[in-house]
A and B are shown apart, each in its own frame.
Chain A
């Protein structure tokens, strides 16, 4: 059979046609996403570019489109995600270390992992409801930055745990064995080997979780984040708004000029997200260890 297979490509067998079709389908699928992304960017860019000027970040919301800006929203976003990072990242990383390095594997652990993966996929509105019930009402934090940060922390916690766990598990078991065999304790193995080697992956996951939080709108709306905040928050107990909410606010106003301001806000948000994601990719490429 193999002996009489022609070597020349003059006759294209069916399997090769199938292979080409498959590659073409994959290319088309990639293209669909890229085309729509490009259209969106072009549209937003055309509307927003003229409004992309310094007072976009120095002015508060206003009744006059020419005066309207994102000062309070930008500060709100930075404060909320900053406090959220301080809450969620230590918790998430420590939990992932426990689950990966210490917990005894078994049915309970498998169940826990399933639940964490599920939580990562729960609609964010539900986290908003939870935050409203627990942080705003029960703990009486009010519609404050702290309440928003706590809510977003719950939202990204599963993402941080999953990303950290993946980074920890990418450190080969043989490295742990090498350290154990020298008489290291579990803590010394984690402290001197697993954690440092996993650090780039963990940081990457953290930055991606951060960018997810920056873009979140629904839970903060549930929480009662205001749409019109004409002042900078003076503390963590203050009312606040964030970029996506402010954008949503401008879009919903009738004057077309406000839609331009909204487009400029979208560009601002995109720049923030791009910076976060680019840092994540840079970290991964620069520090990741090739085993």
Chain B
């Protein structure tokens, strides 16, 4: 990164010191390999409930792999092998008796590139709801509206719910639609894998505001390569390097007083 970074967290970040909460996810010595190539090599990390946890690190450090292990998305990659434990309410989500689709219902995910279905906006949001239970038309309508409101998209699409395809929206709107789609299922945890990297600054700002709103109800884990973004929106930051967790702590502390020299090098822009 060539440009000078605004490394001082903004005042609102420094002042935003929310009390720590009970962890909702406990990652314990997690290791992930793709074939013979190790991507995550023994990460142990607690994710506090109803807080935003940012995972930062240079490209290829394993941060995306880590986050994809938290709702068993890596199961779907041929050759991926996961070892270790991920405790979610006292249950290891990798235990043999666990149904991965149930895990994904309770731990939702938003991806790097907005990926709406080529269906109407309404159908996009309703899809997850329809998968799991039969709802009356009215209930379905209500929950679609609520999810779209939560994702700050309702006002922009209320008139074209059934007529506009998800693909017809702008990039930022598409990503908020994907957030609404994930929220409609009412997960507890929302995983976000670089959700703003394909968006322009204005759309990014809207998503960031949204994340701050959502963390009152949801636990959010966001992977980002943008350190300012991590500083702006997260309560806790974890810094990864070469598949390992280097340092983790309250965001304000990690950015102002990094304990590890590698963290300091990274956040001051000396590499990555």
Shortest CB–CB separation between residue A2 and chain B, in angstroms? 25
Pair A289/B118 contact, Cβ less than 8 Å: yes
Expressed in whole angstroms, the Cα–Cα distance for A174 and B167 within the complex equals: 13
Chain B interface residue count, Cβ-Cβ cutoff 8 angstroms: 25
- B71 contact set on A, CB distance < 8 A: 181
* B103 to A: closest C-beta gap in Å: 8
Instruction: Return chain A residues, CB-CB under 8 Å to B117.
Output: 175, 178-179, 193
User: Residues of A contacting B131 with CB < 8 Å?
Assistant: 182-184, 188
In whole angstroms, what is the CA distance A176 to B181 when docked? 14
Q: Is the CB of B105 within 8 A of A183?
A: yes
Tell me if B115 and A182 are in contact (CB < 8 A).
Answer: no
**Interface members, chain B 65-123 (any A CB < 8 Å):** 71, 73, 76, 78, 101-102, 104-105, 108-109, 111, 113, 115-118
* Residue interface bits A111-132, CB-to-B below 8 A is 1, else 0: 0000000000000000000000
Which 8 pairs from chain A and chain B are nearest by CB? A183-B105, A182-B128, A181-B109, A174-B115, A183-B104, A178-B115, A183-B101, A289-B118
Residues of chain A at the chain B interface (Cβ within 8 Å): 104-106, 172, 174-185, 188, 192-193, 197, 289-291
| Cβ contacts under 8 Å, B178 to chain A | 178
**B115 and A183 contacting across the interface, CB-CB below 8 Å:** no
Which B residues contact A (CB, under 8 angstroms)?
71, 73, 76, 78, 101-102, 104-105, 108-109, 111, 113, 115-118, 127-128, 131-132, 167, 178, 181-182, 185
The answer to whether A179 and B109 touch (CB under 8 A), given A104-B78, A185-B101, A289-B118, is no
Residues of chain A within 8 A (CB-CB) of B108 are: 181-182
Would you give the shortest CB distance from A101 to chain B, in whole angstroms? 11
- A176–B108 alpha-carbon span in the complex (Å): 14
- The residue from A176, A192, A197, A290 contacting B127, defined by CB atoms under 8 A apart: A192
Cβ A183 vs Cβ B102 within 8 A: yes
Contacts A105-B78, A182-B105 known; 20 new A-B pairs at CB < 8 A: A174-B115, A177-B73, A177-B76, A177-B111, A178-B111, A179-B117, A180-B104, A181-B108, A181-B109, A182-B108, A182-B128, A182-B181, A182-B185, A183-B102, A183-B104, A183-B131, A185-B101, A197-B118, A289-B118, A291-B118
A181 touches B73 (CB 8 A): yes
**Residues on A with beta carbons closer than 8 Å to the beta carbon of B181:** 178, 182
Which residue on chain B has the smallest CB distance to residue A192? B127
CA distance A106 to B79 in the complex (A): 10
* Interface core residue of A105, A184, A291 (most chain B CB under 10 Å): A184
Q: Take A172-B115, A197-B118 as given contacts and tell me if A181 and B132 are in contact as well, using a CB distance cutoff of 8 Å.
A: no
Closest residue of B by beta carbon distance from A175: B115
Q: List 9 A-B contacts (CB under 8 A).
A: A105-B78, A172-B115, A175-B115, A178-B178, A180-B76, A182-B104, A183-B128, A193-B117, A289-B167
Looking across the interface, which residue of chain A has its beta carbon closest to that of B129? A182
- With contacts A172-B115, A175-B115, A289-B118 taken as known, whether A180 is within 8 angstroms of B185 at the C-beta atoms is no
A172 to B114, CA, bound (A): 12
Residue of B nearest to A186 (CB): B76
Chain A residue at minimum C-beta to C-beta distance from B105: A183
Pick the residue among A183, A197, A291 that contacts B132 (CB under 8 A): A183
Contacts of A182 on B, CB cut-off 8 Å? 104-105, 108, 127-128, 131, 181-182, 185
Q: Which residues of B contact A185 (CB under 8 A)?
A: 101
Q: How far is the CB of A197 from chain B (nearest CB, A)?
A: 6
Contact of A174 among B102, B104, B113, B127 (CB under 8 A): B113
Taking the closest CB of chain A, its distance from the CB of B100, in whole angstroms, is 9
